[in-house]
Amino acid sequence: MRIASIDVEGVRRFGRVDGESFVPLAVGQDPLSLLDATVALQWDAPVPFSATGPLHPPLPVTSLRDFITFEQHTAGSLRAVTGKDEVPEAWFEAPAFYFTNPHAAIGSGQDVPMPPGSEVFDFELEVAVVIGRDGYNLSVEEAWEHIGGYTIFNDWSARDLQQREMRVGLGPAKGKDTATTIGPVIVTPDELAASRDGDRLSLDMEVSINGHRIGGDSLANMAWSFAELISYASRGTWVRRGDILGSGTSGGGCLAEFWGWSGAQVPTPLTVGDEVSMTVEGIGTVSNRIVAGPPMHEVPAARRVKWSQPPLP
Amino acid sequence: MRIASIDVEGVRRFGRVDGESFVPLAVGQDPLSLLDATVALQWDAPVPFSATGPLHPPLPVTSLRDFITFEQHTAGSLRAVTGKDEVPEAWFEAPAFYFTNPHAAIGSGQDVPMPPGSEVFDFELEVAVVIGRDGYNLSVEEAWEHIGGYTIFNDWSARDLQQREMRVGLGPAKGKDTATTIGPVIVTPDELAASRDGDRLSLDMEVSINGHRIGGDSLANMAWSFAELISYASRGTWVRRGDILGSGTSGGGCLAEFWGWSGAQVPTPLTVGDEVSMTVEGIGTVSNRIVAGPPMHEVPAARRVKWSQPPLP
C-alpha cells in the first residue's frame, strides 16, 4: 500500500494511492490504522491524485527521531566544521540520534520558510522508517515486525544556527526547526521486497536543486539496518505506531558535505526561490520551494546571576 | 486551577484538584481544553485525591523541549565532564535546548526503570512551562499569553550514555530515554501570581534522595524567563497547546553538578530502590522509586562500507 494525505473539498484526508487515484479512508477511522494490516478499513469513493501535490505528510506525526548512519556524510560534514574528516570512535559504537520538532513536518509541494536569523541553509536527503505497531525494548529480530513503512525524509538544516547549538552540546533544535519534509507517500514493506539485499534496502537516492543534480547514494550504505535503529531507539523505552526514524543523511545528500570536500561554501547555500527535489527508487519524489521566513523577534542574552559552589550534601 | 490525571475505576481520567478531591472532566472532552479558560467545561462527580499518587502526567504529552538556563548547574556539570567550569560563550548568547522523548513521560509515584547499559544514573530538578494555546514565531511579549501552566519536571539522566552521545554531538537521546517525571499537577499562572518577581517566578525548589536533602535553588535564578524560552522555541515554527518546555536543571539540582565540584562520584549515582523526591513551592512534590530495567538487547557496531569523496556537483 502507498499511504498519502491530501485536501479533498477543503478537508485534509488520509488514504491510499492506487495509480492516479486517491482512495480516502472513511471519516472517523484512526489514520494510523492504515499501518495495521489486521484492521478492516472502510474507504470512500476515489478522487484524482497528483503526485506533484501539494501533499500533507502521509500520516499524523507522533514523534520524529533522526539518526546519522552514512559514514561518507559524517566524514565530509565533520570536515566542513573541524577541517578534519576523522569520524570519532563513538560514532561507530552505536547509532546516534536526536529527537526533532514534530510540529515542523510538511508534505511535498508545501513551502519551506527561511529560518529567521539563518544565512546558511541546507537540505538533507534521507529515507525514514515508520513504526507500524507499538514496541518496548525490542531485539533487532523483533524490530522487523514493527516496521510499518518507508518514506522520504528531508531534514532542512540551518547550518549557522546548528553550529552554535553544537558548541553548547544540545540538539540540534533551532538548526532543524523550520521544516521536515515527509512523503510523498509511506510505502509498506511488501512493496519494496524486491529491493531487499540482506538486511538492507538497495534503493537509489538522489537530490537536485532547481533541476540540477547535486548528489546521491544507495540506501544500502547505511552503517546500521532500520531494524537495528528501531531496536536501539526502543532500548528501555517505547516506539509507538506512527513514530518516524530518519536514516540520517546519505552520502552526497547535503551541501555541507560538499563544503567539507571543497573547503568553501561551494555549491552556495540555498536561497529564497530555490526548489529542492529528492527522488528515492520505489518511493517517489518530494519537491519543496524556499520562501521568505517570518520576522526575527529578539531574545536577550543570558541574565547573569550571582552563584557560588554549593555545600556538598 | 490545579490539573491532574489519575485512574478512576481503572480508567485514566483528567481533571482538576480541589483540596483533597479530584473532579474529573466529563468523558468526550479534550483534556487539553483544561488549559483553555475560554472553554466551558463539563465535570463529573468528585472522587478522593491523594497527592502521593500514583499519578499520571497531568495532561497528554504532545512534545517535550528541555532547556539549560541555570549558570551554576552548567558550570558544575561541565566541570564534571571537562574538569573546567568555564561556560562557553555560546551558552550565554541564546537559550539552548533539545527535544526529548514524549513516550517516556510518567507521573509522580510511578516507577523509573534503570536504563539498560547505564551504571551512572542521575536526576534533574526543573520546573516546566506548559503551552496553553498554539503560537507561531511569538515575540517575548506575545509569549506570556501562551502560558497555560507550570509543573515540576524531573529529567532522569543516564550520564554514561549521555557522555558518549555528546562525543558524537547529537541529542542527548538514549541518555534521557528511560523516564521524565511531570507533575504532580499543572498549576495555572493565576495560582502563582504572588510569586512573580518581575519576569521571573521566585519559587523555592529542592530535591532529596531517600529523605536526605541533596540541594536546591530558586526558580528566579533562570538566565532567561519562561516567556523568553517560548519566544525562542517558537522562532520560525510552532509551539502547540500541551507542549512542555523544561527550565533546565536548577543549581544543586542533580548529582553531576556535585561530581563536578567534588572531583569524584560523590554523592554516589542512583541505584535500584532509591526514591527521589522534588518539591517546588506552589506546585507540590513528585516522588519516584528506581526499579530494575529491562534486559539489554545488543545492537552491533557500525558496518563499514567503502566510500570515496564524491565529484563536486
Distance CA B195, CA B103 (A): 32
Chain A residues with beta carbon closer than 8 angstroms to that of B237: 101, 103-104, 177-178
Closest CA to B70 of B139, B153, B148: B153
The CA radius of gyration of chain B, in Å to the nearest whole number, is 20
Smallest Cβ–Cβ distance between A299 and the set B88, B95, B178 belongs to: B95
pLDDT at A52: 85
B16 has which bridge partners?
B3, B23
Q: Are B203 and B196 a contacting pair, CB within 8 Å? A: no
Distance CA A3, CA A149 (A): 9
Would you state the cell numbers that stand for residue B247, as one nine-digit string? 527550565
Chain B residues with beta carbon closer than 8 angstroms to that of A308: 72
Task: Using alpha carbons, list the distances in angstroms from residue A107 to A59, A110, B176.
Answer: 10, 6, 30
**Displacement of CA B266 from its chain's centroid (Å):** 24
pLDDT at B82: 79
Domains in chain A: ranges and CATH: 2-48 (no CATH), 64-291 (3.90.850.10)
Distance CA B96, CA A161 (A): 11
Average pLDDT over residues A247-267: 97
Inform me whether the pLDDT recorded for A82 exceeds 90.
no
Q: What is the largest CA-CA distance in chain A?
A: 70
Q: Are A125 and A286 a contacting pair, CB within 8 Å? A: no
Distance CA B245, CA B256 (A): 21
A41 touches chain B (CB under 8 A): no
Q: Are A139 and B297 a contacting pair, CB within 8 Å? A: yes
Q: DSSP alpha helices (H): ranges in A175-254?
A: 226-234
Helix axes A71-82, A255-262, angle to 10 degrees: 60
- Contacts by residues A261-269 (CB-CB < 8 Å, ≥ 24 positions apart): A261/A76, A261/A79, A261/B309, A261/B310, A261/B312, A262/B312, A265/A120, A266/B312, A267/A209, A267/A214, A267/B312, A267/B313, A269/A119, A269/A120, A269/A121, A269/A122, A269/A159
pLDDT at B84: 82
The count of CB pairs under 8 A between chains A and B is: 253
* pLDDT tens track for A188-228: 999 999 999 999 999 999 999 999 999 999 999 999 999 99
Inform me whether the pLDDT recorded for A73 exceeds 80.
yes
A69 has which bridge partners?
none
List, as ranges, residues 4-33 from A with C-beta within 8 Å of B.
Answer: none
pLDDT at B83: 81
Q: Average pLDDT per run of 10 along chain B, which is 313 residues long? A: 97 97 96 94 97 94 97 94 86 97 98 98 98 98 98 98 92 97 98 97 98 98 98 98 98 97 96 98 98 98 95 94
Q: Under the phi-then-psi rule, with left for phi > 0, alpha for psi from -120 to 50, and beta for the rest, what region is A169?
A: left
Average pLDDT over residues A16-33: 96
Q: Do A307 and B266 lie within an 8 Å CB cutoff?
A: no
* pLDDT tens track for A104-129: 999 999 999 999 999 999 999 999 99
* pLDDT tens track for A53-66: 899 999 999 999 99
ipTM score here?
Answer: 0.97
Chain A residues with beta carbon closer than 8 angstroms to that of B156: none
DSSP state of A302: P
